[in-house]
Each structure stands twice: as C-alpha cells, then as structure tokens.
Structure 1
Amino acid sequence: MRPEIAVLDIQGQYRVYTEFYRSDSAEQTIILVNGSLSTTASFAQSVRYLYPHFNVVLFDLPYAGQSREHNDHTRLMSREEEADILLELIEQFACDILLSFSWGGIATLQALARRPRRIVKAVINSFSPVVNPSMLGYLQRGVDVMRACDRENIGAVLNATIGKHLPSLFKRYNHRHVSGLEPYEYAQMSHHVETVLNMEGRSCVSFAGQIDIPVLFVNGEWDEYTTAEDARLFAQYVRHCEFRIINQAGHFLDMEHKAAWLQTRDALLAFLLPPLGQQRPRSTAREQHALVG
C-alpha cells in the first residue's frame, strides 16, 4: 500500500505535500486533517482501517512535515488560511468525507461552515468546543515552553498531558518528533495557542450552526482535555450530529491500544459506509498528480 506523492501549488501561495492512497474498490475519498505539531505519519493507524474502503488523502500544512522545505516561513498562518488550504485540497482530490484529529478540528469546522459542495459527512476526533481547566493548564504550560524553545520540556509536557495514555513506544516517538522541530513551528503553534487562550478560534459554536451535513464526534472515555461530555455541547449547534465514546482510551484514541483501535474503526466505518445494498456514484478522484518542484 504505497501512496502517490505530490507537492501541490495552492493558489500560488503555498506548496503542500500530499499522500494519496488510491483504492480501486472505493467509491468515496476521505481527507484527514492533522492535530497540532503533527504530520501525515500521525495517521498511520487510521489509514489501516480506512483503506481500502476509501481513497485516503493525507497532507502536511506548509509549516509542517514534508511541506516545510517547499515554503518560506516569513509569517504566521491563521486557522482561516488553514481552512482555505483544506477547501482547496477537497476540490483537487474530489473528497467526499472529512476527518480531523484534535486541533485539526478548528480548521475543519471552519471549512465545513462554508458548506463545501463535495463533502457529505465528517468525523471530528478528540475535540470539544470549550477550554476546560485541564486543557487550559496544558495550553498554558505548552505555550511557555514553546516560547522559550525549550525542546526537552516540549516533549515532556505533551507526554505528561494529552499523551499520558500512549504506549511507551509512541511516547518516545512523540518526544523525538516534537523536540526536533524548527523554531518557526513552535512560533506557529504558540500563535494558535494564544488565539485559543484569547477565546478566538477555539470558540467554534459561532459557526457550527452553519454546518448542514452529518457529523460524528468521537472522544475517549479517559480524555480529560477534550471530554466526551464537553463534545456533546455541539448538539446545541450542529443540526445532524452523533457522538461516540471510545472506552478506556484517552486523547489519542486508535493509537493507544488494540481495543481502542478496533472501537474507533468500528465507530467510523459504521457512520461512514453506506448500508449494504446502497451505492452512490463513484467520486472522480485525481487520476494523476503533478509533482511541483
């Protein structure tokens, strides 16, 4: 299962690294949106159960992962700009479904509020519309170490908070990854955190009411940072929403253990796949990618 890799020009402003897992048997295409400080590699567990039911699109934002070398980093990006990029990729890959993880939910909900014509369903993992005391403490500690570019403690904060339920192997990977980022990546994440702390951008209820497609919210039973209870507040704003709790799982859901992986897989596929006997027209996914140097 090798992806087709391309670096796409987005509106003449950014170049975005993408991976496209093409499935000959798939009728729909799903695009996955990373959380903060994450790259396409963070969705390795998710791709295992989404493919081959769907064509799968992964991407790195311009300041992250394998997009970094293709962009200059002279200014910080807003969540609105991230939503613009997401909407452009939805069109380019003819995506039908949108799935986000953690802070990727902010740009995702902003994009959904614009009612992209192709998207028929969405899944929002490990996200809630409020900053509860646990999340507030995590954000405050996180922005302090990122402002100081304290690489060692950036990894320690992540693993002691939202990553506390990860197995040790993934904790080591997370620590190595987040402690080795570029200063502009820490600056970008600090900017997003400060926006959240100022109650601009994490307060998603202002545009959640514009979403008119079915949305599934998935949260871990043990996640004290984006709790299942807090996520249910979206029911007041999103017209067509469902909720699932992954038992004995924290913030990282399908990465934490096999039972959580199975529960997450079953919840997503039950929501996303059409009932047996029902089919829809096949999406026109991109036939070829042009690699932009």
Structure 2
Amino acid sequence: MAIKGIETVGNIDIYFEQYRSNSSHQTIILLHGFLSSSFSYRKLIPYLTSDFNIITVDLPPFGQSGKTYRYTYSFENIARSIIELIEAKGLQSICLIGHSMGGQIALQLANIRPDLVQRIVLLCSSGYLPSFPRKMKALSYLPFFSLGVRHYLAKSGLEKNLKKVVYNQELIDDAMRQGYLQPFTEGRQIFRALGRMVRDKRVDLLKEDLQKIHTPCLLIWGREDKVVPLKIGKRLASDLPNANLVILNDTGHLLPEEKPAEVTSYIKNFFIEKS
C-alpha cells in the first residue's frame, strides 16, 4: 500500500508515493521521463517493494506535481527540489533510478550532492542534449506559445508516441493510453509550464561534469530504443568513471514497462555487488 502525499519545496508542490517495506532497507527514489509520471513505474514497483523502500516522484510539471509558471524547470533546479524533498523526509542516503529525462536529473542530483547518493540506475537515460535555440526561447515569452506546445503534442499523437517508445506493440492497451494521456487533459497549466521548460532548458551535463561523478552507476538500455539510442548509453558508460552498461535485446525505450522482471534482476544484483 502506498502512502501518497504532496511536499511543498520552494515554490513548487511535488507529488510522491511512498512504499515502505522495512526501516532497515535501502531507499530508492524513482524518477520518470519527459511527458510521463510515476505511472510509468507501475509494473516495476511490485518487483522492488519486497527488498527496498520505494519513493516515486512526479517531476514538475508532470503528473500530479505543481505546474506553476513561476518555477524554474531546468534539470538542475528540478534536481535541487528533489534534494529538498529528500531532506524533508529525513533521508541521508538514497539510491536513484532514473528513466530517460529522469536519468539526467539523477546525474544532476549526484553532481550537486554526491554525499547523498549511494548508487544510480540509469534506464535509457537522456544525455548530451543542448539547450533550445535562442529564437525558440524568445518565443516562449509570448502568450500564445503554450497553445503552440499543445498543438504540437496533439499533432504528434498519443498512439504514435507510444508505438515509438515500446518495441512490442502488443503492450499498448487502454490502461497505458489513459495513464499517459490523463495529465494532459486537466487544463492549460501543463502547457504553460512546458513552454517555461523550453526557456529554462540548459545543456545537459558535459563530459567533464560526468567524469566527476564517481557514484556507482548501472546503465540498462534497450537495443531498439528509438528515443535515446544505444550510442548515448555507450557514451555515458564511457564518460562516467564507475559505470557498467547492460543491453536488453528486443526492447525499446520504455524499459520499466517492457521488461520489469529482467530490469529488477539486474538492479538487485547491482545493489548486492556494491553493498
């Protein structure tokens, strides 16, 4: 059973779900990807709760977390907000699992507070992305920019995007469709916040930044990932000083949903080896 709540850190509300199995167990915080939410971990969580204390977080402005236009949606600032959440819960040592964008935020967090993070698991993590062009950032100040964001997402289409992120198309069902669509049907705030996110996006951590992160890292990648290709995983594994890369065949980008049992097996072995 999950304990659900909202923690206000700075000027943003962060929604979380906490699954506690044993006070002596390691705590893992799950960070989801872009245009997603904690929903993306729904199949992985049951495999982890017997051995770990789990906290899932909806990264702002996604899911049930705040979508205020006054918040700075850079990955660095989101990571700092997660640090505040961790401290508010009295945690002094945690592990991170980050999928896609969540992987980049996990790395940002470890870069800021290496003392706080024991281990990191990166699932098809984003990396090496530049900032958005200045022209686009300038346009983000215009009142109608959020309408453009909404139109772009509607045009790309839910079904098309789901087919892009999973290798086995039979996994796509109505529950998945509804889960990923719901946060975008509850008003315009999300689209205004995404416009602000375009403005706040900075370049991802560079090679020299990654080389300073000595936290043990396990990278798990789908060989058929069309969103963050395997070459990014290989590059991250090369630049991170203490990293191992695992490649899963017949797997796309949405690892937590496509191969939860297999992913869990690698995670548990990684934690045992490093404990």
Q: How big is the shift at 1:273?
A: 2.9
CA contact (8 A) 1:8 1:15 kept: yes
Superposed displacement of residue 212, structure 1: 1.4
Alpha-carbon separation, structure 2, partners of 1:185 and 1:63: 6
> Once the 2 structures are TM-superposed, how far is the Cα of residue 114 of structure 1 from its aligned partner?
1.8
Query: In structure 2, the residue corresponding to 1:267 is in which secondary structure?
Result: helix
Correspondence for 1:249: 251
Output the TM-score relative to the length of structure 2: 0.80
Task: Name the aligned partner's letter for residue 155 of structure 1.
Answer: L
Superposition pairs of residues 93-108 of structure 1, within 5 angstroms: 93=89, 94=91, 95-108=93-106
Segments of 5+ residues of structure 2 without an aligned counterpart are: 130-139
Q: Which residue of 2 aligns with 1:112?
A: 110
Q: CA RMSD in A?
A: 3.0
- Decide which moves more: 167-176 or 246-255: 167-176
Q: Distance in 2 between matches of 1:164 and 1:149?
A: 26
Q: Secondary structure at the match of 2:245?
A: strand
Compute the displacement of 1:54 (Å): 0.5
Alpha-carbon distance between aligned partners in 2 of 1:165 and 1:195, rounded to the nearest angstrom:
34
Measured after TM superposition, the shift of residue 67 of structure 1 is 2.4
Tell me what 1:168 maps to: 172
Matches of 2:58 and 2:25, distance apart in 1: 24
Aligned partners of 1:175, 1:40: CA distance in 2, in Å? 10
Secondary structure of 2:115's aligned partner: coil
For residue 61 of structure 2, the aligned residue among 44, 60, 63 is: 63
The residue aligned with 2:222 is 220
Q: Name which of 29, 32, 35 aligns with 1:34.
A: 32
Whether the aligned pair in 1 keeps the contact of 2:223 and 2:251 (CA below 8 Å) is yes
Q: Please list, as runs of the form range in 1=range in 2, the aligned pairs for 1:145-156 lying within 5 A after superposition.
A: 147-150=148-151, 152-153=154-155, 154-156=157-159
TM-score of the superposed pair, with normalisation by structure 1: 0.75
What is the number of residues matched between the two proteins? 256
Could you tell me whether the CA contact under 8 Å between 1:220 and 1:245 is conserved in 2? yes
Question: Is the Cα contact below 8 Å between 2:146 and 2:194 reproduced in 1?
Answer: no
Matched, 1:177 2:182: yes
1:39-66 CA distances to partner (integer Å, 9 max, x unpaired)? 2222111211111211001122342322
* Alpha carbons of structure 1 residues 128 and 34: separation in structure 2 relative to 1, 3 Å: closer
Q: Percent identity?
A: 23
Note if contact 2:146-2:192 (Cα within 8 Å) is conserved in structure 1: no
Find the counterpart in structure 1 of residue 238 from structure 2.
236
Residue 261 of structure 1 is matched in structure 2 by: 260
Indicate conservation of the 8 Å contact 1:50/1:56, yes or no. yes
Q: Secondary structure at the match of 2:120?
A: strand
Give per-residue Cα distances to partners, 1:113-162, cap 9 Å, x unaligned: 1233231110111124346xxxxxxxxxxx99973412533424422433
Change (3 A) 1:161 1:145: farther
CA contact (8 A) 2:146 2:195 kept: no
